[in-house]
Amino acid sequence: MNITLEKRTADSVKTYFEKANRPEIKQVLPQKAKTVEEALADYEQTLLPDAQSFGQTVYVDGKYVGDVWCYCIDMDDEPNCMLSFCIFELEYWNKGIATTAVKKFIQSICALYHVKTIGAFTFAHNQASIKVLEKNGFVVMEEFEDDGMLSQYLQLEC
């Protein structure tokens, strides 16, 4: 299985928006953009020189299966960012794809942005995402309730 990270495009943003808005995905990953136009506007912001987010698409053997991205990139005193990921093709879940994609992406953002820490939020019931993060060195720092959902904050020291 060949897992690669590729450049995001307007077409991949449209595909991601459609696939990530399925109920199976929304129950484990809330979506910020409510319309495809909002998603495209957010993507356009990532292309600016002073962008505070960066993302890549995840491909398995040439098939687009998900995205991985960082946001809230802060280069001030303690360079840090937040991480998120989604494998939207359900038949690719529980195969180690997200773990490998996140590992490759962390290497990229550490080299690009020289961040000291990377944080990630997830729902506490999303054990698959917690497992991916922990396999990549993240540690649970806090558990809290947000909008009635038990959630966790995990962090990686680079």
Predicted TM-score (pTM) of this structure: 0.92
For residues 113 and 115, give the distance between their C-alpha atoms in angstroms, rounded to a whole number. 5
Specify burial of residue 56 (Cβ count, 10 A radius: 0-12, 13-18, 19+).
Answer: buried
- pLDDT (tens digit, 9 = 90+) per residue, 91-104? 999 999 999 999 99
Average pLDDT, the chain: 94
Q: How confident is the model at residue 13 (pLDDT cuts 50, 70, 90)?
A: very high
Q: How confident is the model at residue 144 (pLDDT cuts 50, 70, 90)?
A: very high
Print burial letters for 99-129: b (CB count within 10 Å at least 16), e (below 16).
bbbbbebbeebbeebebeebbbbbbeebeeb
> Is the pLDDT score of 32 beyond 80?
no
Instruction: Give the CATH fold of the 3-115 domain.
Output: Aminopeptidase (3.40.630)
> Is the pLDDT score of 31 beyond 80?
no
For residues 75 and 85, give the distance between their C-alpha atoms in angstroms, rounded to a whole number. 21
For residues 130 and 77, give the distance between their C-alpha atoms in angstroms, rounded to a whole number. 28
Higher-confidence position of 29 and 51: 51
- pLDDT (tens digit, 9 = 90+) per residue, 35-70? 999 999 999 999 998 899 999 999 999 999 999 999
> Is the pLDDT score of 30 beyond 90?
no
For residues 16 and 14, give the distance between their C-alpha atoms in angstroms, rounded to a whole number. 5
Give the single-character DSSP code of 119: E
